[in-house]
Each structure stands twice: as structure tokens, then as C-alpha cells.
Amino acid sequence: MRRLQDRVTVVTGAGSGIGLATVRRFAEEGARVVCVDLDEATGTKAADEVGGLFVQADVTDEDDVARVFRTAFETYGSVDVAFNNAGISPPDDDSILETGLDAWRRVQEVNLTSVYLCCKHAIPYMQRQGKGSIVNTASFVAVMGSATSQISYTASKGGVLAMSRELGVQFAREGIRVNALCPGPVNTPLLQELFAKDPERAQRRLVHIPLGRFAEASEIAAAVAFLASDDASFITGSQFLVDGGISGA
Ligand code: NAI
């Protein structure tokens, strides 16, 4: 399928996990891919693999984010899709009684403020074109909470969900769709790192997933490609769950 033929797509967190799988999927679907990551080595590798463009940027920095979308536009002539996906896992003990203010603020910065900045700087290009699709990575925990005490992480993802709904409604008449992607647990370095610290947590999670396994990043990328494409032309402001049934169990 080449549903994104010649579309200019920006992917943040492109060097690893869900972002990397989406870079590959977008390229398979014919897109021009602008790969954004803080990590120069992995971001460059991702871009080289698909003949895309790498822009090194910290998505919490407004000047960096503005430069990302300006570069995409100046290089390829449009900004059709923004997949605002970069994020970090919760601090070690993320219960409300233990998480310090600095750790809380850092998670909000990387997981939520970054999405605000990326939407803010992508939308003006999409307005000029009269169309665009934005997919923001939230999480299943934004919909159902988490029994594993992730207060700063869950709150950040709840913010992404609410912001996506708000923007989806606000910009619908301008042809810009905005959706929140809500993955369940996905087998990526972020999850592996979390479970390495607390192996029992992996087992506890697994029993709650009706499909009985963690997702592969490519399965999440398939959903992102759908939301980014015209196949999802009547979907905006949604919370798009790709969670193996966990939120329905
Ligand atoms: P990952 O750790 O494999 O990849 C995250 C990427 O984001 C890395 O390449 C990292 O360098 C980049 N990044 C981090 N901070 C950045 C910054 N300030 N500026 C630019 N790039 C930055 O993580 P994964 O698992 O692929 O997660 C991607 C998104 O999916 C995150 O928002 C995460 O919260 C979310 N998510 C992940 C789930 C999982 O089980 N893996 C489940 C639900 C949501």
C-alpha cells in the first residue's frame, strides 16, 4: 500500500521503538520522512535507512521544534503529517507520594509540552495547505489509569489525549485532523528498560492483556499510517486504542 505517496511526514522519537517502526512504515507507504530525535546516531541511522532527512532536535525546546517544521517545509514544500511521538518513561518510583517536583516537571516537559510545541508549529503549515493529519502518542493509561503508580506519566498522557481531542475539534473545519494514539504495552527499549528494573511488573501487565502478549512496534506503526492517511478521513479528535484489548478487559 502506498497511501502516503509523496506526503511530507515528520516523526519525532524517530530513532527507536514506535517512532522507528513508523519511519519504516511511512517510507513503505511512499512518504518523504523527516526523522527527528535528540539522539543523533540513531536518528541519522533511521533517516539513512529510508532515504529521509534527519533533524537533530530536543522536542522540549521551542526553537528546535520551529526549526524542525521549517526545515521540513523548506526541503520538501509541505508538512502533511506530524507524528508527535517522542516521550520518556516514568521515573523509578512514580507514585504521588514519592515523585519529586523536578521528576514530575521533566515528564510533563518531554511527554506533554513537546506535543503542544509540535502541534503549535505544524498547524500553520497545514492551515496554508487546507489539510493535514496530526497523530499524537498518548497511551492506554490515559484512558484507564495504571495500577502500577505512574502518576506523572499517566497525567502527561492524559494531557496529550485531551489536547488532541481539543485540537481535533477546533481545526476540523480547516481540514486538519488530530488524533491521539493510545498504544498498550509495546515491546520497545522504553518498555524493556522499565521491566528490567521491575521484572514482576512485566508479568502483572501481561496477565491483563486479552491478546496475551505485548505489541510489536510495527503493529502500532500500522495504526499510525492508517490515521495519517486519507483512509482515516472521517476520524478526528479520537482516542485510537491499539492495546490488545487491555482497556476493555
Ligand atoms: P523509545 O524509548 O524506544 O523511543 C523514544 C525516542 O524518543 C528515543 O529515540 C529518544 O531518543 C527520543 N526522545 C526522547 N526524548 C526526546 C527529546 N526531548 N527530544 C527528541 N527526541 C527525544 O520509546 P517508545 O516505546 O518507542 O515510545 C514512544 C512513545 O510511545 C512515547 O511517547 C511513549 O510514552 C509512548 N508509549 C509507549 C508504550 C510502550 O509500551 N513502549 C506504550 C504507550 C505509549
Q: Which domains does the chain have, with CATH numbers?
A: 8-242 (3.40.50.720)
- Answer for the pair 35, 55: CB distance below 8 angstroms, yes or no: yes
Res 248: pLDDT: 87
> What's the 88 CA to ligand 1 centre distance in angstroms?
5
Extract the C-alpha cell encoding 162. Answer: 485531551
* Rg of the chain, C-alpha, whole Å: 17
Q: How far apart are CA 25 and CA 217, in angstroms?
A: 10
Q: Give how far the C-alpha of residue 29 lies from the chain's centroid of Cα atoms, to the nearest Å.
A: 18
- Helix 217-228, helix 17-28: angle, nearest 10: 50
- Residue nearest to ligand 1 atom 23, measured at CA: 190
**Cα–Cα distances in Å, from 54 out to 22, 57, 103?**
14, 9, 29
pLDDT at 148: 72
pLDDT value of position 55:
98
CA angle 15, 69, 140 (to 5 degrees): 55
Residue 118 to residues 45, 166, 213, 222, Cα–Cα distance (Å) = 22, 15, 32, 22
CA 18 from centre of chain: 8
Q: In Å, how far are 96, 147, 148, 157, 236 from 90, measured between CA atoms?
A: 12, 13, 11, 11, 28
Strand ranges (E), 13-124: 32-37, 53-56, 81-84
Active-site residue, 116 included: no
C-alpha cell at 194: 522499565
C-alpha–C-alpha distance, residues 43 and 20, integer Å: 9
Task: Give this prediction's pTM.
Answer: 0.98
Q: Is 61 in the pocket of ligand 1 (CB under 6 A)?
A: no
Is 150's C-beta closer than 6 angstroms to any atom of ligand 1?
no
Q: Is the shortest distance between the CB of 18 and ligand 1 below 6 Å? A: yes
C-beta 91 within 6 A of ligand 1: no
Q: Which of 11, 18, 137 to mutate to test the pocket of ligand 1 (most atoms within 8 A of CB)?
A: 18
Among residues 45, 159, 67, 181, the alpha carbon closest in space to that of 118 is found at 67
Ligand 1 pocket residue status of 13, Cβ below 6 Å: yes
Residue 201's contacts (CB-CB under 8 Å, 6 or more residues apart) are 148, 194, 195
The distance between the two most distant Cα atoms of the chain, rounded to a whole number of Å, is 50
User: From the alpha carbon of 185, which atom of ligand 1 is closest?
Assistant: 40
pLDDT at 221: 98
Series of mean pLDDT values for 10-residue runs along the chain (249 residues): 96 98 98 98 98 98 98 98 96 90 97 98 98 98 84 97 98 98 94 84 84 97 98 98 93
CA of 236 to the centre of ligand 1 (A): 23
**What is the number of the ligand 1 atom nearest to the C-alpha of 214?**
40
